[in-house]
Each structure stands twice: as C-alpha cells, then as structure tokens.
Chains A and B, each alone.
Chain A
Amino acid sequence: MNEISLMPEEQYQRLQQRNAADVKELWDLLDAVKDPEVPVLTIWDLGILRDIVRDGDKVTVIITPTYSGCPAMDNISTDVTQVLNDAGYADVTVKMSLSPAWSSEWMSPEGRKKLREYGIAPPEDADLDEDGLTPDAHAQCPHCGSKNTRRVSEFGSTACKALFQCDDCSEPFDYFKKI
C-alpha cells in the first residue's frame, strides 16, 4: 500500500511531552510497568501514563484509567511506586486524573503493533459502524489476517475489548475497542 501512515495529533502531543520532559529518565524507568491485563503493553504504550513531576525528592506520577471501572488501576499504582522506589525514589505519589478522558487514540504505534502480535486486534483494524462503535463484523483477525470475522460479544475479557471470531481460521480473538 502506498499510504503514509499519519500519527494522530494526540499521539504526537504525547511524544512531544515525553521528549521535552526534564525527567526523561523517569519516563524511561516507567517503561518497566506493564498493564497487568495486557502484559505486552507498557503504561506508556496504552496512554495511561499522563505526566511525571519531580519536585526535589518528591515524585508525582499522573495516570488515567482507560475505563471507569478498570480494575487494573490499583495494581498499576502499586507497580509504579515499586519501580520508582527500587530506583531510589522514596517519596512517590500516584495521582489519578480523569480529564481529559482516556482515548484509544493515545495508544502508541509500537503498542498497536505489540497488541496485534499478542493476538488482540487494535482499534484501527476494524471499520467502525455509523455510530462510531465497534462493527458487528470484519475486524481483521490478528492470527491469519482475514477480515471474514464476526463479533461474538460487545464486551470481551475486559471492558476495553470486544470478542470476535474468525470464520477463516476459526480462532476467537479480542478487539480493542475505539473510545
């Protein structure tokens, strides 16, 4: 395909923020924190990590939930604190920020690739329906690449995913919803 893939504005802004940060080493350190439910993705990849502020010895990490009821947030907070503690930062506060609301657009390009390799179709692997929601068919199968697939359930193993099945290779797979 002769398409130049464009990076969505939101992703570009996030990347700029990270590159310009005066605590770049802390952003790098937190690449060790993975989402417990999608363990191939870091909290950076997912867009959960919003900001890091250092004030003297005190480090404040701002994270945002993907979905209101995401049960992984407590785990992630603990992991963030642990990683920073281990690196010698004793005074760590993890804060939850709700606004702006998380968007799947924030997911990094590497994150999307890793998702697919892990067997989860990223949001762009399906054409949304007229309401901008998950379509009832044709999300691309991450296993065999076929688009001959159908939605089995609106909600998959977690709130952020829908469940599909491929009619070519017969494998079920999760589709990461666009919100």
Chain B
Amino acid sequence: MSDQIKNAIQEYATRLGDDSVVLGHRISEWVSYGPFLEEDIAYGNVSLDYIGRARMFYTYAAELADDGRDEDDFAFMRNDREYRNLLLMEMPKGDFAYSQVRQLFADVYYTILLPELLQSKDETLSAIAAKAIKETKYHLRRSRDWVLRLGDGTEESHKRAQKAVDQLWGYTHELFDMDETEQLLADEGIGVDVSKLRDAWLQMVSDILTEATLTVPEDSWAVRGGRTGYHTENLGHMLTEMQIVHRSHPGCKW
C-alpha cells in the first residue's frame, strides 16, 4: 500500500469515527431524559452502537497512524478544529422531535452508505460495515416510527417535527460532498462515492416525511465545513463535556 493511500485511509477512518462518536455522544445526552423508560433505554442502546462503531474506526486509524496513539487519543485528545465530523451529527439534541428527525436523516444515510462500504477493498472497513449494517436496520425502524408518530401526531408534535426538518435540512447537503481524499479512495475501490447517494437518500427520506404528513423543504440553504474542521460552536461545547474526565486524569483506568 502506498503512503498516500495509507494516509488517506487513516483520514477516512478518522472521519467516519468522528461522525459516529459525535452522534453517539449526542444521543447519549438523552439518557435519563427520555420521554419514558423504554425509550430512554432504547436511546442508550443506539448510542452504544455508535460509540462502538467509533471505537472500531479509531482503532483502525490508530493502527494505520502507528505513532503510539490509541482509540482514546483520537476521541479525547483532539480539539474541535481537528474533528472532521459532518455538522449534522454535532447539532445539539434539541427537543425530542429534533433529535429523532436528525436520527432519521443519519439512519437513512447509513442505510445507503454501509452496503457500499461493505464492498470496500479494505477488509477492515468492510468488516466494520458488515457489523454496522445489521444494527442500522433496527435504528432506522425506530427513528422512522418516531418521525411518523410525531409528524402525524398532535398539532404540537407535527409543528415541532416540521420545524426540526426545516432547521436541519441545510445540514444534510454536506453528507454527499466529496473531496480529494475521498475521491482518491473511491477511485481505488476503498471509499464510498457519497455524491452518488443523494438521490436514493432523498427518495427514502421524502417518502417517510410525506407519510408523516411533513413537508420536504426546498433546497434553499446549505452549511458545510465539518470535513475541513470548520464547525458550529456546538461541537466545542460538546467536546468540553465529553473530554473533561479523560483530560483531567490522563491514563486513568477503571
């Protein structure tokens, strides 16, 4: 493997790990605040799936970096500007409708992305995808159910779900952006060309939103920057909370 490819895979694994850990942490913020006990537990489980996924991506990135860092260094010792996650994942948890709409957008994204990643020539990326696909089926069923329930629910729940869709829509365009690193890997059959996935994503999301009596927004604005380290202010606050224990007690085991 050439150094150029190796570095690109390390960067790619880090990005995918960043997406997973940031979303996983956001979901975990619902633990003990869920609308009822079972939902609280469900959210905790989905969060664990994402954090587990992040561990696998980071472990692989650390292996490729081969500079003494481990998965924890990737998660806890990098600042917001070093994080490369999609902005959608870092948006605050908001109200329940906001979190579930974001979850739906992410779950549909992974439903389409992971089968492509499964085809990767890179065995580790393919193995992680194989594991995550199975879990994503359950995630999507749950977020879809909630969006249907909230959209087609009471006047208040419909209003909040629609507001969430409108507020988050502009952050979904970035999901399908490619840059040099990802193009290189896509050309090599290692990474996924996400620019080809938007039609399928839009179709699936539109069908669900329509069924939920929600309106699919016009594409009138788009925010980008996560993949280059330019984040919303939300990420910094989140990382502060997520990283404080690890940074205060370096190397601590329990």
Contact = CB atoms under 8 A, between A and B. Distances in A.
Interface stretch (B85-93, B135-143, B179-187, B190-198): B135-143
Interface string A56-70: 000000000101111
Secondary structure at the A interface, as helix, strand, loop or mixed, is loop
A53 interface: no
Given A98-B56, A100-B130, A154-B142, A67 B135 contact: yes
B51 interface: yes
Given A154-B42, A155-B45, A98 B131 contact: yes
B48 A179 contact: no
Given A67-B135, A68-B132, A98-B128, A157 B41 contact: yes
B230 to A, nearest CB: 29
B32 interface: no
A101 interface: yes
A159 B46 CA distance: 7
Interface string A115-138: 000000000000000011110000
A163 interface: yes
Contacts of A179: 134-135
Interface string B163-204: 000000000000000000000000000000000000000000
Interface stretch (B72-80, B94-102, B119-127, B205-213): B119-127
Interface residues of B, number: 31
Interface string A143-155: 0000000001111
B152 interface: no
A154 B103 CA distance: 15
B132 A155 contact: no
Contacts of B41: 153, 155-157, 163
Scoring A131, A159, A177 by chain B CB atoms within 10 A of each residue's CB, the highest score goes to A159
Given A69-B53, A70-B52, A101-B130, A131 B141 contact: yes
B169 to A, nearest CB: 26
Given A69-B51, A156-B41, A159-B48, A101 B127 contact: yes
A71 B142 contact: no
B38 A153 contact: yes
Contacts of B142: 154-155
A133 B131 CA distance: 15
B131 A69 contact: no
A68 B42 contact: no
A82 B56 CA distance: 25
Given A69-B50, A133-B137, A101 B131 contact: yes
16 contacts: A68-B48, A68-B49, A68-B131, A68-B135, A69-B49, A69-B55, A70-B52, A98-B124, A100-B130, A131-B137, A153-B41, A155-B38, A155-B42, A155-B45, A163-B41, A179-B134
Interface of A: 65, 67-71, 98-102, 131-134, 152-159, 163, 177, 179
